Amino acid sequence: MSTKEQKQRIELLQGTLDLLILRTLLWGAAHGHAITKAIEFNSDDVLQVEQGSLYPALHRLIKRGWISVEDGISENNRRAKFYSLTRKGRRQLSVETGKWDRLAGAIARILRPKPEPE
């Protein structure tokens, strides 16, 4: 995965990682590696999941009851843990998305102010 130059990659903040995991699981259950891949792929490799923090994040989300976990079989036929969104998690996703939109919009307005009307 070295299609992008190192410096163009952005490491994720903790809270953001939670949000992205929830969003990724919206498409269906997935195991840890698949979640990483999905986030990187969907962001055109801009976002790099620090994988050391992926599992603590998953455990945190389980503890809060936003995702659930069950055993399954991975693509190379091994036992793997599959994580999926709970109903509570779905609700949380929309809350978090709304928050993110407001934050991103606000930052954008500050960084790129609209020109004053003449």
Partner 1 sequence: MNKRGKRLLQELDREIREHIELATQDNIDRGMTPEEARHEAFRKFGNVTRAKEDAREVWSLVWLEQLLPDVQLGLRQLRKNPGFAAVAILTLALGIGANTAIFSVINSVFLRPLPYHDPDNLVMVWENNSEYPNPHNTVSPPNFIDWQRRNTVFSSMSFIFDERDNLTGNGDPKEVVIQNVSANFFSLLGVNLLLGPGFTTENGQSGHDNVVVLSYGLWKQRYTGDPAIVGKFIVLNGHPQTVVGVAPQSFQWFIKDGSLTGARPQLWSPFVFPQAFQQHKQIGRFMTVVARLKPGVAPSQAQAEMRTIAARLEQEDPDFDGHWGVNIVSLRDQICGDLRHALLVLFGAVAFVLLIACANVSSLLLARAGSREREMAIRTAMGASRWRIARQLLMETLLLALIGGGIGVALAVWGTNALLAASPRNLLDLRTVSLDLRVLLFAVAATLVAGLLFGFLPSYLSAHSRISETLKERGRGSSSASRRALARKAFVVAQLSLALVLLTGSGLLIRSFVRLIGVDPGFDTGHLLTFKITLPQSRYGTDQSCITFFQQLLSRISTVPGVRSASMESFPPLTGLGAATSVHLLGLPSLTPSDLPVANVRVVGPDYFAAMGIPLRVGRLFSAQELTEEKHVTIINQAFATKYLQGTNPLGQKAVIYMKSDAESESQPSEIIGVVGDVHQLGLDTAPEPTVYWPHSELVMSGMTILVRTSSDPLALLATIRFQVQQLDPELPMAAVATMDQLLAESLSRSRFTMLLLGIFAVVAVVLAAIGIYGLIAYSITQRTHELGIRIALGAQRRDVFRLVLVQGTRLTFLGLAIGMLAALALSRLLRTLLYGVSATDPITFAGVAGLLGVVALLACFIPARRATRVDPMVALRYE
| Beta carbon of residue 58, minimum distance to partner 1 (angstroms, whole number) | 8
The amino acid occupying position 62 is I
CA dist 69 → 31, 48, 84, 85, 116 (Å):
9, 23, 6, 9, 52
What are the residues whose beta carbons fall under 8 Å from the beta carbon of 113, sequence distance 6 or more?
A: none
- Residue 96 within binding range of partner 1, rule CB under 8 A: no
Site for partner 1 in 43-72 (CB under 8 A): 50-56, 59-60, 62-63, 69
- Residue 24 within binding range of partner 1, rule CB under 8 A: no
- Residue 90 within binding range of partner 1, rule CB under 8 A: no
Tell which phi-psi region holds residue 48, choosing left (phi > 0), alpha (psi between -120 and 50) or beta: beta
- Residue 16 within binding range of partner 1, rule CB under 8 A: no
Nearer to partner 1, 83 or 93 (CB): 83
- Residue 78 within binding range of partner 1, rule CB under 8 A: yes
CA dist 66 → 61, 97, 105 (Å):
5, 14, 26
Q: Where along the sequence are the contacts to partner 1 (CB under 8 A)?
A: 1, 31-33, 36-37, 50-56, 59-60, 62-63, 69, 74-76, 78-81
